[in-house]
Amino acid sequence: MDFILISDFLDEIGCCRICTLRFLKPNIDDFLDVENSLKSKGIPINQQCKHETKRPKTNTCVACFNVFNFIDEIIMKVKSSEWLKHYEVKRFVTSYSLPVSLDLAQLQIWLALIEKFPNMFDSERPPDISIKDVMKNILNTKLSDDLHKEFHPDGMMINIFFVIDNEPEMMTKLESVAPELMVERNKQRKKFRTEIVSRNYFEKFFIPKNIKLEKFRQEFSVPPQEPSSALQLEKITFTGPTVFVAGRYNKFSRALSQSPWILNGKRITEGSVQEVIVDAIASYFKVSESSMTFMSSGREDVDVRCLGRGRPFVLEIMNSAKTFLDPSSAVQMEEKVRKSNVVAIRDLQMIPRDDLRHIKSGEEDKKKIYRALCTVDSDVTVEILERLNIEKEFEIQQWTPLRVLHRRTLMQRPRMIYGVKAFAVKDKPNLIVLDIVSQAGTYIKELVHGEFGRTTPSISSLIDMEIDIVALDVMDIDLNFPKSLNRT
């Protein structure tokens, strides 16, 4: 590849030194010292050099619209931002919103390069290292030094927005140069009421392979002319990282739902486990309650308590200001939740995103231990109790319960019951307490009364008499996640 010829051409059409280097197959690190990298590619520094690396604003680069001139301004603005104090994080990433005009300019140069150097540039593979990648490389290195933070994908995001005047006007011309490429886009636009073309759409479809040069030249010059409108740094925003906090919760009330129970805009029950927990945690991470998502390992009906070690849960916290949870703050949160008297949490800790799988997958492998309070019509006998002390595991077949049939598929599911223990209650002869160890996903109420024969065998069919369940507690969920902290 003849770098000098290409470099001369790019220089002539009005590319800055950084952009010239972008088209000379560089490594990404070459941009940390542009002149030296150009030199090593055989481009002399004084080679009819009309243009400086940083051009004066009157002389705008046709490829990048002088976007690289903003680097110092960006660093200055980031460093002086109030948000840096808000986000107590040690890592950062940057994201860029650049006008589509820059993609158009790239296409114009690309077409010109193919015309001029037909054997050196491909019509599908981009001819350059993108502006975004170069910006990232330069800025991330500088910001990392200036902010004393590490560049890392899990960090807070610094979003840098550029805009340009007259862009929409220019974009309408795309329709006339490549109407066939706009068919799909116009469908999307009708649906989503979005901009004429997005960067993604442009980059995917507007490539030389899909463009008829003659037609394209009717609206756009190849190579491009000096831009008539200026690029502006519109704003810089910050987004905190997404973090995950896990724990286990107890629910002591039979009137409290796990998540807010709202039907047709009306609240059915007051409060919820989720709200109590979120309320105790949100302020530490400096987020609103709506940026937290509550997940748990299964759920039960409202009237079921959750005792014992409790149910594992995870909170996904978006735009978090912190990436750590110190033990004393965690204990404070646990104490605050306990004051609700209906919910308690324990083992509160940060977890990596990967650990979500413990909550999300393998639902059917988990064992759950329940305690059910049941009534029988006659007095409980030793014979009944003995029949219901079952150490050997057995399988049941359970049709989708009638109470959820309207929204779930009708099917018969096999479920394992790993053991049953039966207890009598002093002075209450018609009550039986059953401790049941079952495969997760078993409908316990139906397992007890049999639901008109739709669950078989059932506790009712095993003792061949009517038995009904009046109260149910989860005593344990056999999942060792998150790890026990033994804090209290």
Partner 1 sequence: MEKFYLNENEYPEGVSSITKFDTGEYPSVVDRYFTRFYHKKTSEDGNENEDHLILYHSNRVCLIGLAQSHIAFKKGIVGITYNIGNCDRSLNQVKGKHKKGGMNLQPLTTLAIITCKDGSEYKVLSCVTGKLIETNDRLKGNLNKLSIEGSGYVAIVLIKPENCEKAKSSLVSEKDYIPSCSF
Residues in touch with partner 1 (CB under 8 A): 252, 307, 341, 371-373, 375, 382, 385, 399, 402-410, 422-426, 428, 431, 433, 449, 451-453, 468, 470-471, 473
| Cβ at position 421, least distance to partner 1 in Å | 10
| 365, 366, 370, 375 alpha-carbon torsion, rounded to 10° | -20
How far, in whole angstroms, is CA 246 from its chain's centroid?
A: 17
Binding characters for Zn ion, 192-231, by CB under 5 A (x = yes): ----------------------------------------
Partner interacting with residue 63 (select from partner 1, Zn ion, none; CB below 5-8 Å by kind): Zn ion
| Cβ at position 442, least distance to partner 1 in Å | 17
Contact between 24 and Zn ion (CB under 5 A)? no
| Cβ at position 305, least distance to partner 1 in Å | 8
Phi, psi of 371 (to 5 degrees): -125, 125
Contact between 62 and Zn ion (CB under 5 A)? no
Partner interacting with residue 406 (select from partner 1, Zn ion, none; CB below 5-8 Å by kind): partner 1
What does the DSSP 8-state code read for residue 390? B
Q: d(Cα 190, Cα 193) in Å, to the nearest integer? A: 5
| Cβ at position 291, least distance to Zn ion in Å | 38
Q: DSSP secondary structure string, 109-147?
A: HHHHHHHHSTTT--SSS-SS--HHHHHHHHHHHHHHHHH
Contact between 463 and Zn ion (CB under 5 A)? no
Q: Which helix (H) or strand (E) holds 172?
A: helix 167-177
Partner interacting with residue 16 (select from Zn ion, partner 1, none; CB below 5-8 Å by kind): Zn ion
Q: Which residue has the tokens 């609103």?
A: 288
Return the range that interacts with Zn ion (CB under 5 A); candidates 16-24, 76-84, 190-198, 209-217.
16-24
Partner interacting with residue 74 (select from Zn ion, partner 1, none; CB below 5-8 Å by kind): none
* SS3 assignment, position 77: helix
Contact between 344 and Zn ion (CB under 5 A)? no
Give the number of other CB atoms < 10 A from CB of residue 391: 8
Give the number of other CB atoms < 10 A from CB of residue 67: 24
Give the number of other CB atoms < 10 A from CB of residue 89: 22
Partner interacting with residue 333 (select from Zn ion, partner 1, none; CB below 5-8 Å by kind): none
Q: Which two tokens stand for residue 296?
A: 């748990």
Catalytic residue among 29, 301, 326, 478: 301
| Cβ at position 303, least distance to partner 1 in Å | 10
**417 versus 432: smaller Cβ distance to partner 1:** 432
Give the amino acid at 361: S
| Cβ at position 141, least distance to partner 1 in Å | 53
**193 versus 407: smaller Cβ distance to partner 1:** 407
Q: d(Cα 106, Cα 222) in Å, to the nearest integer? A: 10
Across the strands, what pairs with 349?
Answer: 246
**58 versus 409: smaller Cβ distance to partner 1:** 409
Contact between 280 and Zn ion (CB under 5 A)? no
Contact indicator for 29, 140 with CB cutoff of 8 Å = no
Contact between 102 and Zn ion (CB under 5 A)? no
Give the number of other CB atoms < 10 A from CB of residue 167: 16
Residue 6 Rama label (left phi>0; alpha psi -120 to 50; beta)? alpha
**19 versus 432: smaller Cβ distance to Zn ion:** 19
Partner interacting with residue 409 (select from partner 1, Zn ion, none; CB below 5-8 Å by kind): partner 1
Contact indicator for 194, 188 with CB cutoff of 8 Å = yes
**131 versus 432: smaller Cβ distance to partner 1:** 432
Contact indicator for 447, 456 with CB cutoff of 8 Å = no
Partner interacting with residue 382 (select from partner 1, Zn ion, none; CB below 5-8 Å by kind): partner 1
| Cβ at position 315, least distance to partner 1 in Å | 24
Q: d(Cα 260, Cα 268) in Å, to the nearest integer? A: 9
| Cβ at position 68, least distance to Zn ion in Å | 6
How far, in whole angstroms, is CA 207 from its chain's centroid?
A: 31
**64 versus 337: smaller Cβ distance to Zn ion:** 64
Contact between 63 and Zn ion (CB under 5 A)? yes
What does the DSSP 8-state code read for residue 38? H
Prior bond of 153 cis (ω within 30°): no
Partner interacting with residue 64 (select from Zn ion, partner 1, none; CB below 5-8 Å by kind): Zn ion
**Binds Zn ion by CB under 5 A, chosen from 13, 19, 434, 447:** 19
**48 versus 488: smaller Cβ distance to partner 1:** 488
**175 versus 435: smaller Cβ distance to partner 1:** 435
Q: d(Cα 482, Cα 356) in Å, to the nearest integer? A: 10
Prior bond of 457 cis (ω within 30°): yes
Q: Is 128 a catalytic residue?
A: no
Residue ranges binding Zn ion (CB under 5 A): 16, 19, 61, 63-64
Residue positions annotated with a catalytic role = 301
